Structure 1
Amino acid sequence: MRVHLCAVGRLRAGPERALIDDYVTRFNRTGRALGLGPFASVEVEDRKGGGMEAEAALLARSVPTGALCVVMDERGRSMTSPEFAEQLARWRDGGRQDVAFCIGGADGLAPGFRAGADFALSFGAMVWPHMLVRVMVAEQLYRAASILAGSPYHRE
């Protein structure tokens, strides 16, 4: 199952980019044998200042046709890392070819886009900077692949 990260905004070089690159490399290496990956990232940017609705339209176009759309939202479902790994495996085993994790901009996701998603995932009730959420998604994908592979990376 191919994994896509569709996010509003451009991530420049820096510590967040280095962390994402590291976790993506690890995920691709670990996930390959599990039928997870490769990981692809798509960044969209509303240069015309249309707000959340314009960002939502750009995000919608970045999600591959037929992909399961997962929005990152504080109102979504909170899961443990093992639960997230099990969910990824269920999507994969259910025949999903693609899953897209969508991250909104500084103002979040447009309500219509959020409502149209297949799944809403939360990293807790706190609001996180969208650039950090990218790092957290990449790390949790690697952690999920590690859990599914029986690797000692995740300790309970």
Structure 2
Amino acid sequence: MRVVVIAIGRLKQGPERELCERYRERFDDIGRKLGFRGLDIREIPESRARDAITRMAEEAAAISAAIPEKSVLVALDERGDNIDSAAFARHLGHWRDASVAHTIFVIGGADGLSPDLRRKAKVGIAFGSATWPHQMVRVMLLEQIYRAATILAGHPYHRA
């Protein structure tokens, strides 16, 4: 299974991008031994539309165009479930074991994800009730993906 993060917006050079790359590389190292085919990050430009509804619709169309068939869609959304790292790992392990081709994590733009895209998601995940900058959400997501791989591998990185 290939893991893909589709995010609206581009991370500039700096500590957030470096952390994302570090967790992506760590996941690739351990993930291949667990049957994962890699972790891709796809950045989609933010819509320049004047109103939020149009921006969300344009961004949803761009995200949808980047989602391969036979994918599980996971929405990072403030209305999503607060799950712990072990549950996150169980989801990834279950989809891998079910021979899902792609697990796609989506991070919307400043206006969030369109309701239609949220409905298409198999799972909605929130990182607590606080509002987080999108750059930090990406870092936290990539860390959780890496942590999930370490949990599935029985690696000591995760200490419950």
Report the TM range for the smaller structure's normalisation: over 0.9
**1:79-127 C-alpha deviation (Å, 9 max, x unpaired):** 1111111111011111201100000011111111111222111111222
Counterpart mapping for 1:117-128 below 5 A: 117-128=121-132
Aligned position for 1:73: 77
**1:8-60 C-alpha deviation (Å, 9 max, x unpaired):** 01111111000000000000001111012300111111454241111111111
Give the structure-1-normalised TM-score: 0.95
2:10 maps to amino acid: R
1:155 maps to amino acid: R
Structure 2 residue runs without a partner (length 5+):
none
Secondary structure at 1:31 match in 2: helix
Q: C-alpha distance in 2, partners of 1:47/1:91?
A: 31
Q: CA RMSD in A?
A: 1.1
Secondary structure at 1:24 match in 2: helix
Structure 1 residue runs without a partner (length 5+):
none
Secondary structure at 1:95 match in 2: coil
1:31 maps to amino acid: G
Q: C-alpha distance in 1, partners of 2:99/2:127?
A: 26
Alignment CA distance shift 1:121-1:144 (3 Å): same
Q: C-alpha distance in 1, partners of 2:112/2:146?
A: 25
Give the structure-2-normalised TM-score: 0.93
1:29 maps to amino acid: D
Identity within the alignment, %:
46
- Farther-moved stretch of structure 1 (47-56 vs 119-128): 47-56
Secondary structure at 1:55 match in 2: helix
Count, aligned residues: 156
